[in-house]
Amino acid sequence: MGRLDGKIAVITGCRRGFGEAMAERFAEEGAAVSICDTVPVEELWENVGEKIIAGKGKVLCHQTDVSKENQVNAMVRETIKEYGTIDILVNNVGIAGPTKAAWELSYDEWNKTLEVNLGGLFLCTKAAVPEMIKKKSGRVINFSSVVAKNPYPYRTPYATTKMGVIGFTRILALEVGRYNITANSICPGNPGGERNIEVLRDHAMYAGKSFDEAQARSRFKLMREKGVLGGKYLGDEGYVEVLISHLDVANLAVFLASDEAAHITGQDINVCAGTTMW
């Protein structure tokens, strides 16, 4: 018996990283998953869908830009048509946005990050939650970041949207609680993945410095495997480890989606090995 047997889960942003890990873990726990990303369906199927099918899971793949209402609505309609309902919504999609001082941003750069990170969250929630309300049961899991709590310079649009995710989730929890629906945020720390490399590269370019990608990857590897930062063992500083894994976050998402988390709602939960403690 899986913890999500018989459940139907919509998970956005599944091409790589947290989304890919959650799609696989939800399927392992018995959920039928409906996953999307902006890449062609064939690529999403090859990268993620085939692994789920190989594990005897059920999966639908969609090419969806969550900032486009018609595409979001189509994904939700297709999911309900195929599976009959939606029990779980995981709003994982998010873009890193530009790396600039706030006053150097163009309005278009600012808006693009908000359209995806908050607009997509809103549109997916608007499309999927009425199905949960209809049957008086559901789970909504939204992705914020520890950056919402420990702001990172030159990341204004990203940090702003991730703070907004927490606020949106808390209010949603109050609104849907009467329907036996929970809403929670996950705030991941640094997984040392491709996006982290991209952000470091952008920071170096903005500062007019060179970027050594091999060195950055080597540093992430040392941090992940040995718990070393700046020459110090993180255990000596009170941290468990600085780099989390995608699986750490996927396991928390499984718990929040399960019956075990029935009375957890309106919370923003860090997965960061102790680098953020509020």
Q: Which residues are catalytic?
A: 158
- Quote the CATH superfamily of domain 8-190+245-271: NAD(P)-binding Rossmann-like Domain (3.40.50.720)
What is the share, in percent, of the chain residues with pLDDT greater than 70? 82
The whole-angstrom separation of Cα 239 and Cα 276 is 10
The whole-angstrom separation of Cα 136 and Cα 154 is 42
Query: Exposed (0-12), middle (13-18) or buried (19+): which is 2, by Cβ within 10 Å?
Result: middle
pTM over 0.85? The answer is: yes
Q: Over the stretch 192-213, which tens digit does the pLDDT of each residue have?
A: 566 666 666 666 666 677 766 6
Q: Over the stretch 33-92, which tens digit does the pLDDT of each residue have?
A: 999 999 999 999 999 999 999 999 999 999 999 999 999 999 999 999 999 999 999 999
**Is 153 in contact with 131 (CB distance < 8 Å)?**
no
- pLDDT bracket for residue 1 (50, 70, 90): confident
Among 234, 246, 240, 236, which Cα is nearest to 274's?
Answer: 240
Q: Over the stretch 213-263, which tens digit does the pLDDT of each residue have?
A: 666 566 656 565 655 555 454 555 555 556 788 999 999 999 999 999 999
Q: Count CA atoms within 13 Å of residue 105 on its CB side.
A: 19
- Which residues of the chain are in CATH 3.40.50.720 domains? 8-190+245-271
- The per-residue pLDDT of the chain, averaged, comes to 90
